[in-house]
Chain A
Amino acid sequence: MDIVACIKRVPDTSETDDIKIDASGKDIEKSNLAFKLNDWDEYVLETAAQLKEKLGGSFTAISVGPKVWEEVLRRALAMGADKAIRVDEDVVSLDPGCVARILSKVIEGLRYDLILFGAQSEDFGSGQLGAMVAEMLGVPHATLVVSLETEGKVIHVCRELEAGALEAYSIELPALLTIQTGINRPRYISLGGIKRAMKAELKVISLDNLGLSLNGLTQELKLERLEFPHRGKEAVIISGLPRESAEKLAHILYSSGIF
């Protein structure tokens, strides 16, 4: 089976209490942030690696971004990808429709049975890229996939609905899936994997190579400005050493009739 996995690099803002909007007003200051592979894409790469181990074929990882993004592609190579492609373009300034256009152009030129995306990204979280690419390529898709099983040219999948319910489909390949977290347990990268990743092919292409240009891509979503959210009411903060705040909280719980 020939698999294509599209992944991205994101800033880790989950535990940062000091986000600043930069001078342009249209992005955050990133110099103090750590970057990582998008959480959902860990599961994408594990899915692709398992399918390749089981069924053979090729596993290509693609990303659209500047040179530093190669770190996530190297990670993909270490997890089992045999080829990586980086489209050299600053993805942050492009809307999802443009990125989808670029990715579908890259994928068009490859052999594929299965295309995998993360169900969403951690930074912008629009969750729309995969299904857009599927429509552009004219292949069937399922989003929010939490389990999958292949049977010849068919893939059986379950996708997540609300409140723990699932929807089951059988889809003819080629197909595109967006992968939800929890579908598998992403592997730790082995030393052998890292060695292979350093030697493996990482191809860099430009929009020009794809017959595309920035002017030719229509931005349908224009970022006007960033704002800090109004947080509304805040919790009553109980302060003090752990022993003191624990005591205060225990009394609050007691007087509220919790125990």
Chain B
Amino acid sequence: MNGILVVIEHRKQALAEVSLQVLSKGRQLADQAGVELLAVVIGKDALSLAEEVARWADNVLVVKSEELELPLAEPYQQVLASLIKERKPRLVLMAHSSLGIDLAPSLAVELEAPLATDCIDIRTEDGSILAVRSIYNGKVHAVYSLSSSDTVIITTRVGEFAVDESNRQGHIEEIALPFEEECEYKKFNGCVEQEAYGVDINQAEVLISVGRGIREKKNIEMAEKLAEVLGGVVSCSRPIVDCGWLPSDRQVGLSGKTVKPKLYMALGISGAFQHVVGMKGARMIVAVNKDARAPIFSIADYGIVDDIFKMVPELTNKITELKLKNSKG
């Protein structure tokens, strides 16, 4: 089997956490199969980041460009297409990140390479590569085999693979590959950072988080009351921001914030992975949800399978009572 090639993503002169996850998984697979782990770093900061990448990779390919600072799909596609045609890695790995989502499908079409996206596991069985995907709201896993081809492309779910420490000193090689930094019919105008509105949910020790189960905007008040008695703040999952019920700076998850409060209480949140990656670091997680099979219960420390509209007012009352009792000593 030819080697495995990992596509590295970086922003602001730092490797993306997702790329360390992919490198770790790539290292495992390369060791199992006894093949070389290649990694490619593209752009202005490529050379300075190569040393860190070489802790996992046997061979780091550096494609420098003075102009290209950020990971953009079109120039990356050009570099990768010519690199993959030349080196023919058996497997190309990258994260199912915003970049991977933009880049991998068109690259796969250009190279006529099989593609499996957003995979939660990769296995090799008798020389063929199996990709495992989470489907139907995470309730079922699907095992796919990829048709035999010189190269197959797999993108991995963000946050799914742990970062294993590694201290290799892989070889670093600068390679020259011609590519256009600018695409003539698609002009990059820069990045926009999220604006801050006021409440910083990263600072809160208690987050009462609401999801789709809250049903209506006016019901958020119920969560606010609970947050108030606990000295906390209300945060939410994506659908609540999509509906315009809370501003986007309250959103926890992949496209929102990563929080680590003392208590995270998920009310009517099913626990899609996009949400979980943003809150799994909380010290204590409590989930209230009607659906006993909701994935949130496999991440929570405590769970209550019940209607949030019955539970939450009761809980607010109990906590108020207890606080009052304790203050009277």
A residues contacting B by CB (< 8 A) are 11, 13-19, 21, 28, 96-97, 100, 119, 122-132, 134-136, 140-144, 156, 158-172, 175, 181-182, 185, 218-229, 231-239, 242-243, 245-247, 249-254, 256-259
Contacts and interface: CB of A to CB of B under 8 A. Distances in A.
A236 B301 contact: yes
A251 to B, nearest CB: 8
A17 B135 contact: no
Contacts of A168: 188-192
Contacts of A131: 101-106
B198 to A, nearest CB: 15
A17 B302 contact: no
A218 B286 CA distance: 47
Interface string B59-85: 000000000001000100000000000
Given A14-B137, A129-B105, A257-B262, 17 more contacts: A16-B293, A128-B101, A135-B106, A135-B109, A142-B102, A142-B186, A143-B98, A162-B254, A164-B248, A164-B251, A171-B186, A220-B146, A225-B142, A237-B305, A239-B304, A249-B304, A259-B229
Interface stretch (B26-34, B114-122, B164-172): B114-122
A166 to B, nearest CB: 4
Given A127-B96, A258-B230, A159 B185 contact: no
Chain B interface SS verdict (over half): mixed
B147 interface: yes
B174 interface: no
Contacts of B106: 131-132, 134-135, 141
Interface string B110-131: 1000111110000000000011
A259 B287 contact: no
Contact of A182 (B103, B186, B241): B241
B189 A169 contact: yes
Contacts of A182: 238, 241-242
Interface in B274-308: 284-287, 290-295, 297-307
Interface stretch (B36-44, B45-53, B215-223, B316-324): B316-324
B133 A126 contact: yes
A165 B194 contact: yes
B242 A17 contact: no
Contact of B258 (A96, A163, A237, A259): A163
B214 to A, nearest CB: 14
B81 to A, nearest CB: 11
B137 A126 contact: no
A209 to B, nearest CB: 23
Specify which of B101, B188, B284, B307 lies most central, judged by the most chain A CB atoms within 10 Å of its CB.
B101
B287 A123 contact: no
A253 B106 CA distance: 50
A17 B141 contact: no
In the A-B complex, the 8 residue pairs with the smallest Cβ-Cβ separation, listed nearest first, are A164-B194, A235-B303, A182-B242, A220-B114, A246-B314, A17-B293, A131-B105, A135-B106
15 contacts: A16-B293, A126-B117, A127-B117, A132-B105, A163-B258, A165-B191, A167-B191, A168-B189, A226-B142, A227-B132, A231-B298, A234-B303, A235-B287, A250-B315, A259-B231
Given A19-B136, A128-B117, A233-B298, A164 B311 contact: no
Nearest to B290: A15
B10 interface: no
B141 A229 contact: yes
Contacts of A228: 139-141
Nearest to A236: B302
Given A125-B118, A131-B101, A220-B147, A140 B262 contact: no
